[in-house]
Amino acid sequence: MNIKQKLDESYIKNNTIDFVKSDPISIPHNFSKKEDIEISAFLTSILAFGRRNIIINKSNELMNRLSCQPYNSVMNMNYDIVGFKHRTINDEDILYYLQSLKNIYINYGGLQELFDNDIEKSLIDFWKIFFSLPHNKRSERNISNIEVGSAGKRLNMFLRWMVRKDNIDFGIWNHINKSNLFIPLDVHVANMSRILDLLTRKQNDWKSVIEITNHLRIFDKNDPIKYDISLFNLDL
């Protein structure tokens, strides 16, 4: 069996509602309003490092602190996030992220308006806009800046959730072609990619993201990032 066949089989096996139940993407699946899906997905993606069950628990806690109405809570500043903490993220960071989201929805038309088919440029511009308000510089470390070489795993995962459409991903941003997405690169995906000769670089950085994504586009030029689901669940 060749690499493409292995990845295709893994995708078919895992592209299920059962996968959603055990993944952080289950959090935005609790909502139906577009803006609630966007904001809950963005915040969950930012919290998405560490064990999945802890990510889900902390994301649920954050949604409860937003009264399970992410958009209304952000826009009306109706939340209590004092004492919230997840790994390197604390309540000061979350407070800034919520304020920045409000600024984006008021002055830029929402998260969707900050991204287009030039994903790389969009990620760079998004980071600058997101941190354009006065803030503690420590809050920047939780959101990758690909302009300095970071892999941007969590932002690319958020984009995958918003752009792709299947049993797992939402596909509510149809102005972006899924063929332009980049792989959300975490340690497991990087290790699997090296085993499968999809990645030669030792660093897990933006150049590695490009290298893997280019290989995946050979397997499926229209939807290469469906293989993120394959690689994440692959155990060779």
Quick: pLDDT tens for 55-70: 999 999 999 999 999 9
Please tell me the predicted confidence (pLDDT) of residue 139: 96
- pLDDT score recorded for residue 235: 75
Taken in order 182, 188, 191, 193, the sign of the CA dihedral is: negative
For residue 200, the model assigns a pLDDT of 97
How distant, in Å, are the alpha carbons of 127, 149, 184, 193, 203 from that of 235? 34, 28, 18, 11, 21
Residue 30's pLDDT is 98
> What are the residue ranges spanned by the domains of the chain?
3-233
Please provide the DSSP assignment of 32-56 as one string.
-SHHHHHHHHHHHHHT--S-HHHHH
**Given this model, what pLDDT does residue 234 score?**
87
pTM of the model: 0.97
pLDDT one-digit tens code per residue, 3-25: 999 999 999 999 999 999 999 99
pLDDT at residue 236 greater than cutoff 70 = no
Overall average pLDDT of the 142-155 stretch: 96
Instruction: Tell me how far apart the alpha carbons of residues 201 and 43 are, in angstroms, rounded to a whole number.
Output: 30
Q: Are 193 and 213 in contact (CB under 8 A)?
A: no
Q: Are 206 and 164 in contact (CB under 8 A)?
A: no
* Per-residue model confidence (pLDDT) at position 166: 98
Give the mean pLDDT of 118-124: 98
